[in-house]
């Protein structure tokens, strides 16, 4: 056996320099296998990544996502500032709602993709990816110079726990007073609210968001590090009967891939144009005023793109992996960005950038699987969509 790992999440065991979340000892107690991801020692899996994937699709999974960043942006010009700093129109987001957006550089390259919650008229919470959090916090601070706004990186003090899967709502309701149940059941996708979670150790105030990265209904809970273990334990104890299973980054990656969601470092990078990545609608060229990257992004849109992000499904049983070349008639026409056997669908799936000429669903391409070409069909993303 000679092990060739692939994908950015399986980069070996934690190093001395990687950080631990407030839940590290909880993961150890559960027998987690750790991996270094974005500078953090994170659970890769606890027992079986396939079982964890299945739990999220069928019941619920519990994730520690405390490696993600949290940057608070507040002040009289917070909305105006974010319209300038990000590619989306954050001033149009209603209080209590969230928006997926991009932080681009002047060349229109993607520094990070992130979710921004509007907590108040002048109060936003920006959530970048773990590995990009310092760069995002720095870019926001730098861009804020001309605005009456405060940018505060709260990443180090904040934990994030996700409950994802069809049983998520029911599990959360068991820990919340009935007076707040309507706040939870009525919470829309990409919306957030403050709730109190009851635990044996006392009540915990959390920011509860109906967001996720799995393609299932689910929630993300933000709270201070000091209370993270208390919340984690309460969720696990209460949710076990409903099938709540601790889940690591391996299943998080296979879940997001099935849901056709991009992963920064795989599908997105400083060299990626949002238009090539299919994220054109996220770029609000119609908003008023200048924003970082506007002229470059306008030019990119005008020019059109030569490649496009597509979904691929294997005709055979072998999986394509990141960086494998995609070809048609012996000519390289693209490259795989993410690939894995799909636990839900039972066959390998992948995302790839391919020349626009070969990007139509139904096109058959070949992927070079370590010297042996294998046929794949171009399909529409996502691969998996929940039925309810």
Partner 1 sequence: MSNNILTDYRYSAEHEWVDTSGSDGARIGITSVATDALGDIVYVDLPETGAEITAGEVCGEVESTKSVSDLYAPVSGKVTAVNDAVVDDPSLVNNDPYGEGWLFTVEVSSEGPLMSADEYAKTNGVEL
Q: Which of 4, 200, 271, 329 binds partner 1 (CB under 8 A)?
A: 4
Q: Per rule CB under 8 A, is residue 340 in the interface with partner 1? A: yes
Cβ atoms of residues 44 and 246 within 8 Å:
no
Contact characters 9-38, partner 1, x per CB under 8 A: xx----------------------------
Q: Per rule CB under 8 A, is residue 321 in the interface with partner 1? A: yes
Q: Which of 86, 87, 221, 319 binds partner 1 (CB under 8 A)?
A: 319
Nearer to partner 1 by Cβ, of 5 and 364: the residue is: 5
Taking CA atoms, 347 is separated from 19, 317, 319, 354, 362, in Å, by 35, 6, 8, 21, 17
Q: Per rule CB under 8 A, is residue 341 in the interface with partner 1? A: yes
Among 4-12, 19-27, 147-155, 281-289, the segment contacting partner 1 (CB under 8 A): 4-12
Q: Per rule CB under 8 A, is residue 266 in the interface with partner 1? A: no
Contacts of 150 (CB under 8 A, 6+ apart): 72, 73, 74, 75, 144
Interface with partner 1 (CB under 8 A), residue total 26
Cα separation, 374 vs 11, in Å, equals: 26
Burial of 80-92, coded b for 16+ CB within 10 Å and e otherwise, reads bbbbbbbbbbbbe
Cis bond leading into 109, ω under 30°? no
Among 163-171, 249-257, 273-281, 328-336, the segment contacting partner 1 (CB under 8 A): 249-257
Cβ atoms of residues 221 and 211 within 8 Å:
no
Q: Which of 79, 221, 250, 292 binds partner 1 (CB under 8 A)?
A: 250
Q: Cβ 222 to partner 1, closest distance in Å? A: 28
Can you tell me which residue has the tokens 């001033």? 91
> Of how many residues is the chain composed?
388
Give, as ranges, the residues between 343 and 362 that touch partner 1 (CB under 8 A).
Answer: 343
Q: Cβ 212 to partner 1, closest distance in Å? A: 20
Among 77-85, 141-149, 283-291, 340-348, the segment contacting partner 1 (CB under 8 A): 340-348
DSSP string, 190-234: TBEEEEEEEETTEEEEEEEE---SSSSSEEEEEEEGGGHHHHHHH
Q: Per rule CB under 8 A, is residue 325 in the interface with partner 1? A: no
Phi, psi of 139 (to 5 degrees): -65, -40
Give, as ranges, the residues between 132 and 151 that touch partner 1 (CB under 8 A).
Answer: none
DSSP string, 112-132: EEEEEEEEETTEEEEE--GGG
Q: Which of 169, 220, 253, 366 binds partner 1 (CB under 8 A)?
A: 253
Cβ atoms of residues 196 and 177 within 8 Å:
yes
Binding site for partner 1 (CB under 8 A): 1-7, 9-10, 44-45, 48-50, 53, 250, 253-254, 317-319, 321, 340-341, 343, 370
């Amino acid at each position: 056996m000679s092990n060739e790992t692939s994908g950015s999440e399986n980069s070996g065991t934690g190093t001395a320099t990687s950080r631990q979340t407030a839940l590290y000892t909880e993961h150890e107690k559960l027998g987690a296998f750790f991996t270094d991801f974005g500078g953090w020692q994170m659970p890769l899996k606890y027992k079986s990544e396939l079982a964890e994937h299945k739990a999220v699709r069928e019941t619920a999974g519990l994730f520690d996502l405390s490696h993600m960043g949290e940057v608070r942006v507040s002040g009289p010009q917070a909305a105006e500032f974010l319209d300038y700093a990000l590619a989306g129109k954050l001033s149009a987001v209603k209080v209590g709602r969230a928006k997926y957006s991009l932080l681009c550089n002047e060349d229109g390259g993607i520094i990070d993709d992130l979710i921004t919650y509007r907590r108040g008229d002048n109060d936003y919470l920006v959530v970048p990816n773990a590995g990009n959090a310092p760069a995002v916090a720095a870019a926001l601070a730098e861009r804020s110079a001309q605005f009456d706004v405060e940018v505060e990186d709260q990443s180090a003090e904040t934990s994030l726990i996700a409950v994802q899967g069809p049983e998520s709502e029911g599990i959360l309701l068991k820990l919340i007073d009935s007076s707040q149940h309507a706040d939870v059941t009525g919470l829309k996708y990409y919306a957030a609210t403050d709730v109190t979670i009851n635990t044996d150790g006392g009540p915990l105030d959390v920011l509860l968001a109906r967001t996720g990265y799995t393609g299932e209904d689910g929630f993300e809970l933000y709270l201070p590090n000091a209370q993270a273990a208390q919340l984690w334990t309460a969720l696990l104890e209460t949710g076990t009967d409903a099938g709540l299973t601790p889940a690591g980054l391996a299943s998080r990656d296979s879940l997001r891939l099935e849901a056709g969601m991009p992963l920064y470092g795989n599908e997105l990078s400083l060299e990626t144009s949002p238009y090539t990545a299919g994220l054109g609608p996220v770029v609000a060229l119609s908003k008023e005023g200048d924003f970082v990257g506007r002229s470059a992004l306008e030019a990119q849109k005008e020019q059109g793109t030569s490649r496009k992000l597509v979904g691929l499904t294997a005709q055979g049983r072998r999986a394509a992996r990141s960086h494998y070349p995609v070809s048609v008639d012996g000519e390289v026409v693209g490259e795989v960005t993410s690939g894995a056997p799909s636990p839900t669908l039972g066959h390998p799936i992948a995302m790839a950038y391919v020349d626009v000429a070969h990007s139509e669903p139904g096109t058959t391409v070949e992927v070079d699987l370590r010297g042996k070409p294998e046929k794949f069909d171009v399909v529409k993303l996502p691969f998996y969509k929940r039925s309810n």
